[in-house]
Structure 1
């Protein structure tokens, strides 16, 4: 017997919804609705420590849309799970965020720790890989978000995890913005500063997670899926083509160099790139590249199933 659930993943850059039927016995998950909105909730959080009013309103507008979808599919309230990650963990005024979500969706956001985020990401990304005869464990799952990146190692279960404060939005705002304008393109010095932050964070991750022990690198979230779309030269964003695609390190290196050298207009002209990722994709690509170089991974297996699916499994009980 299937259970109907609704899962919301509210991150630093985007807010996503999954409505699905899940068979708790087999773990089979059937999508009914899966959507994403770029709301940039983490706008300015790294600098101010607070969620900006305009960022909150963008997020609440998406929540109102999602509330209608959840009601239309008849999801019972006890099967709705709302998880908030890096930006809301960092913000002084997170209570304002919590109250707004509660009033719209009738569910209190679960502001999870980095360790919980890692577990959800791992479950969502690897559940259908395990025993499939395809990519082999141990898996190193890397979830490159807007404000943080999670590193999770495991086979059927998590054996080590660490969340570090590098993400495509955080690094872009920290190093690639001057006078409110994103560098177009960034200077070599700015790129060096981003790289130094990434490498320092990788040192932190490696202290908790043996990064070189995995047989398969699995990449999650918008930066990684966008790189897969660019590598395939897709005419538009196509989840079916992206899910479980593989991108070699040389392709990632070439795409990263291309994005770092591109102007805003040149990045915006990439047909598969969501407009909300145009300003931050170069930082996201550089994070992935440095991870691959550090771990020795020759390729990354790209997954469209991630923390959102893990939240859905948790909501099913």
Structure 2
């Protein structure tokens, strides 16, 4: 069986294709990435611009075409905060469906947090004990704590790197006043959940997911992605703190030339670094391990878990023609957590 997840985010529409076999981990067989750059297209009234809608619809269409070529049996398309929180999200979803032939669903921030935790828990196994997980996307930051299959606490905060850049770091490079204001905003927003996290007790292991943390870890010396997922990658908060003045002191075009920083994320990496450093420092965390599995893997793993518990059903071939049957993520179906 060949499954795929299509993650439609603020920076790109990412298709991850997995060949499923009994007892094997869902490691990607193919990956396709199409730029969306939606953070640049959010208007002051909270709507996505016409250019942004056209761009994301075209990106999804190319990703679905790739899924068809790759012989995907089941496709699970979903949008994250960039589209989910847009005032005109229904129009955006309608346009995506008209262009690509599939209608993506959206998960709540808490659902994203729980599925990401589910993937990290599977990656590290039960011996990891209580996990504290942090994830910084384009629109939100997720913090999750737990030791069992379902976490004890899962929260999503409006502290994504793209959102913070748009709202607080309007200059390129940002001014010292903007950076100070950003730090205060992150601290104030985190204060809503810090006491609860501390009350739950210290975690045995602290892990981070998302492209933001992967790029920051690479910037501070972690192994490149080409070394594979089984190489341990860590991010020390002291090293991250030392890099922030360097990142904030140069424009985005120069940041893109730094180790690990992609061109599409060069503008928002400063906000991501500040949010990560403030959050980890507030939680008294000195070092995090970067987990290679995150939301997309969580969706695939949840699907596989449910398939194992139910009788097999005939698969519908993936097609992007509007008059054909297309399997997609539904709130009442997989992989919504129980």
Quote the offset at 1:20 in angstroms: 0.4
Aligned residue among 106, 110, 114 for 1:119: 114
Aligned residue among 136, 147, 167 for 1:155: 147
Cα distance in 2, alignment partners of residues 193 and 20 from structure 1: 43
Quote the offset at 1:242 in angstroms: 8.9
Within a 5 Å distance, the mapping from 1:66-77 to structure 2 comes to 66-76=63-73
Aligned to 2:87: 92
Whether the 8 Å contact between 1:228 and 1:242 is mirrored in structure 2 is: no
Who wins on radius of gyration, i.e. which is larger? 2
Matched, 1:174 2:167: yes
Gapped regions of structure 2 (runs ≥ 5): 307-338
Matched, 1:32 2:58: no
Cα distance in 1, alignment partners of residues 119 and 197 from structure 2: 19
Q: How many residues are matched?
A: 303
Aligned residue among 217, 229, 236 for 2:218: 229
RMSD over equivalenced CA pairs, Å: 2.3
Aligned to 2:317: none
Quote the offset at 1:193 in angstroms: 0.9
TM-score, normalised to structure 1, is 0.87
Matched, 1:268 2:256: yes
Aligned to 1:277: 265
SS in structure 2 of the partner of residue 12 of structure 1: coil
Cα distance in 1, alignment partners of residues 188 and 220 from structure 2: 28
TM-score, normalised to structure 2, is 0.82
Aligned residue among 44, 47, 54 for 1:47: 44
State which drifts further: 154-163 or 241-250: 241-250
Cα distance in 2, alignment partners of residues 260 and 276 from structure 1: 16
Gapped regions of structure 1 (runs ≥ 5): 178-182
Quote the offset at 1:207 in angstroms: 5.4
Matched, 1:197 2:192: no
Quote the offset at 1:195 in angstroms: 0.6
Matched, 1:6 2:15: no
SS in structure 1 of the partner of residue 139 of structure 2: coil
More strand by share: 1
